[in-house]
Chains A and B, each alone.
Chain A
C-alpha cells in the first residue's frame, strides 16, 4: 500500500494526462466555443500569454470539458462505483448542452476517466485520491500562472497538430 499523499500525486499526473489528451484531441485550443471563452483568450494574450492556450483556458471556464469530466467521474466512482462514473458522464453531457457547447470532450473525458479511476481502485488506489488529484491538476493549468500555462498548452497544441493534423 502506498502512502495517501504519494497516491494523490500519482493520481494528479494521471488526471492531468487524461484531460489534456482528450482536450487536445477535441481541439479545445483551436478557437473559443462561446464569445466569453474568446474574450478570456484575448485577455490572456494581452497579459503576455498565448492565444491558443487562452482559448483552451476560456473553454475550460465556459463549459464542462474533459477536466470537469475527470473530476465528476472520480466523484461518481467515489460515491457509487462504476455506474456512478457513467451516470456522471450523462450529467456532463447535459451540462455541455446547457452551456451551449457543441463538443463532446467532457463526455468522452468522463467515460475514459471512469474506466481509469475504476481500474485504479482495483489496484490499491482510492477514488478520493483522484478527486484531490484532479483539483491539483486543474490548479496547475488555471490557478498558478496564466502566462506559463497558456504557453505550455500552446506548445502541446503544436505537437498535437504535427501528429494528428486537421488544425487550422
Chain B
C-alpha cells in the first residue's frame, strides 16, 4: 500500500505549505492539494461502496469552503446583485 503513504506524505507537505504561505489567496491552491490528498486517503482507508459518497461530500464541501473564502476575500457577490 504505497498509494496511501504517497497521499499522506503529500497531505502533510501541502499542509506545511499552507502554514508557511503568508498570502491568504495563495494559500488556497495548497489547501486544494490537502483536500485532494485527504479525499484519496478516505477512499483508500475505507473500500466500501458508500465511501464514494463520503469522499465526494468531503471534497465538494471543502471546495465550497475555498470558494466562499476566495469570494469573500475578493469582495463578495456585489457584481452579481
Q: Which residues of A are in contact with B by a Cβ distance under 8 Å?
A: 4-5, 8, 34-40, 43-44, 47, 57-58, 60-64, 67-68, 71-72, 74-76, 78-80, 84, 87-88, 91-92, 94-95, 98-100, 126, 128-129, 131-132, 134-136, 138-139, 142-143, 146
Contact = CB atoms under 8 A, between A and B. Distances in A.
B25 A43 contact: yes
Contacts of A135: 6-7, 10, 33, 36-37, 40
Given A40-B70, A129-B3, 6 more contacts: A39-B25, A40-B29, A43-B23, A57-B29, A75-B51, A135-B10
A136 B6 contact: yes
Contacts of B1: 128
A142 B69 contact: no
A60 B67 CA distance: 10
Interface residues of B, number: 53
A39 B74 contact: yes
Contacts of B19: none
Q: Is the interface of A mostly helix, strand, loop or mixed?
A: helix
Given A63-B67, A87-B52, A138-B32, A79 B43 contact: yes
20 contacts: A35-B74, A35-B79, A36-B68, A39-B71, A39-B73, A39-B75, A40-B70, A47-B23, A64-B59, A71-B39, A75-B52, A78-B47, A80-B49, A88-B56, A99-B67, A129-B3, A131-B3, A132-B4, A138-B36, A143-B13
A61 B28 contact: yes
Given A71-B36, A79-B43, A143 B25 contact: no
Contacts of A139: 10, 13-14, 33
A73 B38 CA distance: 15
Contacts of A136: 6, 10
Contacts of A146: 26, 29
